[in-house]
Chain A
């Protein structure tokens, strides 16, 4: 079994896994990191959205082999200890979540967007593909703008 090392939420990890094993299942089933959620397995619902070297990815379609030697950040690694990331704080302030299942992915997608575009327009926000079946989109939009305004 091949072995892959990467940095997960700031800590080095090594896993023995098939090269084509999606990162999502490495995280969830081998490393007990359950913040990234399965919603489709084909990269379209984006509930698993996490960061690879700071850019958003869908771990359900990224093989673990592609993560070797790189830095993976999941929702669990976004806050700085008890200090929430500005996007998480904006999510709390706007009380965005309903069922909460897609929200780790939504937050990671928003954080990645703000990294690229510090003041996203409505059109930029519209390009976020993450599905929220509870329909929290309006609060997501407000929370992103709030996080952007607070830098």
Chain B
């Protein structure tokens, strides 16, 4: 998870500009105001401010003369709805129309928090964005008061305008120049109390929805960067395989081919179109040396993981044990938009366009890879077609930069879907051993030991090192990745169950690892997606062995009333315990993370255990203030489908050092026929500041699906995905 950021100490700055521009620091504690106040005599353009670097760690809001409110966001939009949530915060405090708020994505900065991950975006932006907009509003009102010679407190703001009691109005755009010169607003610049929120908390359609449904939303592959030619890479059949002999004569002679370049990961072809590039790629004659995992397949990995799980200690004397072991396969992130990056690397500078959750680290890694100073590398962040953690890493951007450098021309690199599945990053496979000890009808000790695959870098090529490490970061992961890939960085340590979700007496955990040269990455909900799923299955099994109902048992043993509340909500709304036909069953699970709680109830039709269908999903979430309930519902819906997919059928096989799957035909992520016919999300009312929500639902959904499957089939699910 991302470092917890202080939300108590922002100081909102006013930046010198000819239009009203205010900035709030983001991701760092600032105790004194250092920002320049607007200079009356020599108004500077916002771009002057950029040069000073003072906005590098800030969220900057500008009101343009065209009456647009522009906030350049140091986060990436990958479908999670962060641009809509921030636009809502800004519109709320400014009383601007949502349509007048623009949230472009900021280029990579040199300082501050430009990290999208750990379900931290809304919680880290909620304070600064509102403070920023509230100050801007106060200045706009003050400017209007001076213009009209009216007391500022008599003025109101609505629809991106200031309105006088006599009915006169002025657009923010018409006031921005004079508002930029206001140093002491005559009205409060504090954000509204929640009781006055009209935008925050109201179900709101995505601000980019119309662009999406008309095909106008632009992703990296849609960019028209001058001269950037379609580029694909021939990759080895095995993970980490190497080209030992390349005959590119036929490929180079093909029409439309501009360059063939050998790189660490394979052989790149630059051509007039992706058709020409793929055709020439297939005409390359390459002899591949097998990668370091060539002798290894799933069975061996599973047995090594099993052996790496630390031993469970001695159970309390006189207790009865419920023990279970669980195995989770590797899972691809497989975002719909395959990795794509446009790179233009010249002798003295480089410019890269791609979707990145960690653009600052990406820039440093790219600079190091192509041998340029970081200051000469410009990274433009582009909206992403899904991520699920995949865009924490920037493999394709580094590769694109290296190809552009070698080919001496701009390139538009696209990984094929097979590249993505067979050489992309994966959620690590893991093995879990869990034991609940009970005595006199209650759990007195709970222990969870696990082992997961961690990424070995030494055995992989320079491009692999470049992708996962920033310069000077030693042999581990870069700081951004380090914060989120708990599985990859922790050799041994506490487990989420240590947080004490349940009153289970003595709770303990331990972990081991198996280091393999494979590309791994944090996958939505990271370790909780496997660990908490396994634990929720054990909770059901303990309840069964104690002769108790799964909901009643959880209600009696959960520590936090907030978790009980979401559980009660799904049990009630989902009609827990209702009669169902043979082969059908309900299942339930809960989870708490990122300052939020969630429960999930599913109904499954597993009359054909090989072809189960989750027919209904009911979720309830308490995330504190839900900025956009409709966006939160979407996140829960996506998490439900992730739970269905990873538990029932979506995974990767490792077969003699290679990933067997190559498209969605065999990486069986859920389609419409696997999705529930009914989905409900209940959002608990709350005045707390927002917690995290993007990843929250995955473990509860996965646990509920597994528990429903177990109850419907009378089996004990142990190896995931179940139909694999």
Task: List chain A positions with a Cβ less than 8 A from chain B.
Answer: 17-18, 21-22, 25-26, 28-30, 32, 34-42, 44-45, 47, 74-76, 78-79, 84, 88, 91-92, 95-104, 107, 122, 125-141
Hey, which chain A residues are within 8 Å of B274, CB to CB?
Answer: 25, 28-29, 38
Task: List chain B positions with a Cβ less than 8 A from chain A.
Answer: 78-81, 205-206, 208-219, 221-222, 224, 230, 255, 272-275, 278, 334-338, 383-388, 414, 416-417, 630, 634, 637-642, 645, 663-665, 669-673, 675-679
Hey, which chain B residues are within 8 Å of A137, CB to CB?
Answer: 641, 670-672, 675
Hey, which chain A residues are within 8 Å of B211, CB to CB?
Answer: 100
Q: Are B386 and A134 in contact (CB under 8 A)?
A: yes
12 new A-B contacts, CB < 8 A, other than A134-B634, A137-B641, A138-B676, are: A29-B230, A35-B215, A75-B213, A97-B212, A98-B634, A102-B336, A103-B213, A134-B386, A134-B641, A136-B634, A137-B670, A138-B675
Hey, which chain A residues are within 8 Å of B255, CB to CB?
Answer: 18
Q: How far is the CB of B279 from chain A (nearest CB, A)?
A: 8
Q: A18-B275, A29-B274, A98-B81 are in contact. Are A37 and B337 (CB under 8 A)?
A: yes
Q: A101-B385, A135-B640 are in contact. Are A88 and B665 (CB under 8 A)?
A: no
User: Can you identify 7 A-B contacts, CB atoms within 8 angstroms?
Assistant: A40-B664, A45-B663, A100-B211, A101-B385, A104-B212, A135-B670, A137-B641
Q: Are B637 and A138 in contact (CB under 8 A)?
A: yes
Hey, which chain A residues are within 8 Å of B224, CB to CB?
Answer: 32
Q: In the complex, A26→B383 CA distance in Å? A: 24
Q: In the complex, A22→B213 CA distance in Å? A: 24
Q: A30-B273, A101-B385, A132-B336 are in contact. Are A141 and B677 (CB under 8 A)?
A: yes
Nearest residue in B to A108 (C-beta to C-beta)? B215
Q: Are B275 and A29 in contact (CB under 8 A)?
A: yes
Q: How far is the CB of A66 from chain B (nearest CB, A)?
A: 14
Q: Are A130 and B663 in contact (CB under 8 A)?
A: no
Q: In the complex, A45→B671 CA distance in Å? A: 9
Q: Are B336 and A135 in contact (CB under 8 A)?
A: no
Q: Are A44 and B663 in contact (CB under 8 A)?
A: yes
Q: Which one of B630, B639, B664 contacts A44 once the chains associate, using CB atoms below 8 Å?
A: B664
Q: How far is the CB of B213 from chain A (nearest CB, A)?
A: 4
Q: Are B209 and A95 in contact (CB under 8 A)?
A: yes
Q: A76-B215, A92-B205, A100-B79 are in contact. Are A37 and B385 (CB under 8 A)?
A: yes
Q: Which one of B209, B215, B678 contacts A75 once the chains associate, using CB atoms below 8 Å?
A: B215
Q: In the complex, A76→B670 CA distance in Å? A: 27
Q: A21-B273, A34-B221, A131-B671 are in contact. Are A95 and B214 (CB under 8 A)?
A: no
Hey, which chain B residues are within 8 Å of A98, CB to CB?
Answer: 79-81, 386, 634, 638
Q: How far is the CB of B348 from chain A (nearest CB, A)?
A: 30
Q: Are A95 and B206 in contact (CB under 8 A)?
A: yes
Hey, which chain A residues are within 8 Å of B677, CB to CB?
Answer: 122, 141
Q: Are B671 and A99 in contact (CB under 8 A)?
A: no
Q: How far is the CB of A8 from chain B (nearest CB, A)?
A: 13
Q: A40-B417, A101-B336, A133-B336 are in contact. Are A95 and B630 (CB under 8 A)?
A: yes
Q: A45-B663, A101-B219 are in contact. Are A133 and B212 (CB under 8 A)?
A: no
Q: Are A129 and B217 in contact (CB under 8 A)?
A: no
Q: In the complex, A138→B640 CA distance in Å? A: 11
Hey, which chain B residues are within 8 Å of A18, CB to CB?
Answer: 255, 275
Q: Are A135 and B641 in contact (CB under 8 A)?
A: yes
Hey, which chain B residues are within 8 Å of A102, CB to CB?
Answer: 336, 385
Q: Are A45 and B417 in contact (CB under 8 A)?
A: yes
Q: In the complex, A92→B78 CA distance in Å? A: 18
Q: How far is the CB of B85 from chain A (nearest CB, A)?
A: 13
Q: Are B385 and A130 in contact (CB under 8 A)?
A: no
Q: Are B275 and A38 in contact (CB under 8 A)?
A: no
Q: Are B215 and A101 in contact (CB under 8 A)?
A: no
Hey, which chain B residues are within 8 Å of A35, CB to CB?
Answer: 214-216
Q: Are B664 and A131 in contact (CB under 8 A)?
A: yes
Q: How far is the CB of A3 from chain B (nearest CB, A)?
A: 15
Q: Which one of A45, A91, A126 contacts B336 once the chains associate, using CB atoms below 8 Å?
A: A45
Hey, which chain B residues are within 8 Å of A103, CB to CB?
Answer: 212-213
Q: Which one of A40, A92, A95 contacts B663 once the chains associate, using CB atoms below 8 Å?
A: A40
Q: Which one of B210, B388, B642 contacts A92 once the chains associate, using CB atoms below 8 Å?
A: B210
Hey, which chain A residues are within 8 Å of B230, CB to CB?
Answer: 29
Hey, which chain A residues are within 8 Å of B640, CB to CB?
Answer: 135
Q: Are B273 and A25 in contact (CB under 8 A)?
A: yes
Q: How far is the CB of B415 from chain A (nearest CB, A)?
A: 10
Hey, which chain B residues are within 8 Å of A79, CB to CB?
Answer: 214
Q: How far is the CB of A93 from chain B (nearest CB, A)?
A: 8
Hey, which chain B residues are within 8 Å of A101, CB to CB?
Answer: 79, 219, 335-337, 385-386
Q: Which one of A17, A34, A127 contacts B222 once the chains associate, using CB atoms below 8 Å?
A: A34
Q: In the complex, A76→B212 CA distance in Å? A: 11
Hey, which chain B residues are within 8 Å of A22, CB to CB?
Answer: 275
Q: In the complex, A42→B272 CA distance in Å? A: 21
- Among B212, B675, B677, residue most surrounded by chain A Cβ atoms (within 10 Å): B212
- Among B211, B212, B215, B217, residue most surrounded by chain A Cβ atoms (within 10 Å): B215
Q: In the complex, A78→B216 CA distance in Å? A: 12
Q: A39-B338, A131-B669, A140-B672 are in contact. Are A75 and B214 (CB under 8 A)?
A: yes
Q: In the complex, A69→B681 CA distance in Å? A: 48
Q: In the complex, A95→B673 CA distance in Å? A: 21
Q: A30-B273, A127-B673 are in contact. Are A37 and B336 (CB under 8 A)?
A: yes
Nearest residue in A to B673 (C-beta to C-beta)? A126
The 9 closest A-B pairs by CB, nearest first: A35-B215, A135-B641, A99-B79, A101-B385, A137-B675, A75-B215, A100-B212, A98-B79, A29-B273
Q: Are B664 and A135 in contact (CB under 8 A)?
A: no
Q: Are B417 and A97 in contact (CB under 8 A)?
A: no
Q: In the complex, A52→B274 CA distance in Å? A: 21
Nearest residue in A to B387 (C-beta to C-beta)? A99
Hey, which chain A residues are within 8 Å of B663, CB to CB?
Answer: 40, 42, 44-45
Q: In the complex, A11→B384 CA distance in Å? A: 31
Hey, which chain A residues are within 8 Å of B383, CB to CB?
Answer: 99
